[in-house]
């Protein structure tokens, strides 16, 4: 299992466009990818679930990745976050 935290830098948080990009990115991996904000945890491969978290600018989120490609998924999701969130 891999985990990492990220502080959202985008001024509007995770709205429709970045949520869509995140779901698409996460869906490219076989591993289970969960996105957490506070006590809430959702499947990062599902657009509506991501948006239901209501993530705003400066919120801290946590990714939990578990599965056969967890190492590469974790590394690539970190890069994705820096570039898109």
User: Looking at the annotation, which residues are catalytic?
Assistant: 15
Reference 62, options 82, 39, 84; nearest CA is 39
Q: How far is CA 85 from CA 1, 19, 30, 81, in A?
A: 23, 9, 22, 5
């Amino acid at each position: 299992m891999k985990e990492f935290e990220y502080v959202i830098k985008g001024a509007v948080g995770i709205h429709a466009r970045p949520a869509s990009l995140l779901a698409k990115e996460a869906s490219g991996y076989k591993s289970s990818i969960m996105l957490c904000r506070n006590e809430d945890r959702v499947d990062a491969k599902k657009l509506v679930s991501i948006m239901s978290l209501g993530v705003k600018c400066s919120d801290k989120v946590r990714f939990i990745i578990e599965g056969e490609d967890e190492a590469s998924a974790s590394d690539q999701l970190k890069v994705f976050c820096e570039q898109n969130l």
